[in-house]
Amino acid sequence: MPERRVVVVGYDAAELLDIACVTSSLESANWHGAAPCYQVRLVTPGGHPITCGTGLTLMAQEALERVTGPLDTLIVSGGVGHVAAAGNRSIVGHVRRLARESRRIASVCTGATILAATGLLDGRRATTHWRSARFLAAGHPEITVDPDPIFIRDGNISTAAGVTSALDLTLAFIEEDHGAELARRVARQLVTYLQRPGNQAQMSMFTTTPPPENGLVRRVVDHVTCHLSDDLTTATLAAGAGVSERHLTRLFVKHLGRTPGRFVRQARTEAAAHLLASTTLPMSGVAVRCGFGTAETLRQAFVDRYGMPPSRYRATTAHAAR
């Protein structure tokens, strides 16, 4: 089988990790496969070196303008330079041209801004880095922007969320192209999961904090995350905070974009995901520890959040760890 031609588009102030997560994963597949699987090329405007957002310089392997198809996969990287790149008619035009000659098209992180500028995402569902989701949605109302998933596949176009989600998407590509066993070898080489569900949330409740100026919201959030098995109804939380339910709900929606009830449900579900992946607790034990009460309540919340039952999630993460 001939090597699949993969072109990664870079530009000034692109994110180095956006590029490296893709290229390293595909090159690892070349090393671990029975034969080389992918021919990977980093292309830039004019074929010039680019200075990444981190300040490091990358040498291009080819000029964007000189690349011709057919291509197997076209991947557009993101980075702090994504707005300037999306405003560059030459970059956008050549990405659009190459997309017509590619079997599969993808963006990583804010690379979705560039795909949006080509019109390729019109009428599609897409994701991007959670910080840029509102920007993308405001500038392109014809796109259904979902800031939650790690990656989204809509037809032959995929969009990955922030930075290292490129690993998840690239592993999914490798599995699709060459089977689960090769993808598993690559994941083990990279010391990463094979693979997080694409619709798993980008940001965890336990790594995001409300604005520091809002002490009340911060205190309630701290209480929730430290007492998941307690009574965390909105009424109880409001009483503990010394405010009305209506006022607490207004503050949560303003600062966190969700009601207290939805915040609690998400926090409990994410905590359950962590326990499922890292312990051998039975489902009933995980449910009680995270405040769900019963395994069935946990199952319903898990399916709503991750699109799969907790038993399948545990099996997937356990399989990846072997």
Positions annotated as catalytic residues are 109
Question: Exposed/middle/buried for 2, CB within 10 Å: 0-12, 13-18, 19+?
Answer: exposed
Per-position b or e across 166-177, b if 16+ CB within 10 A of its CB:
bbbbbbbbbbeb
Q: Is 8 helix (H, G, I), strand (E, B) or coil?
A: strand
Classify residue 87 by its DSSP letter. Answer: T
Beta carbons of 45 and 89 less than 8 angstroms apart: no
Amino acid 39 reads Q
Q: Determine phi and psi for 116, rounding to 5 degrees.
A: -60, -40
Separation CA 171–CA 165 (nearest Å): 10
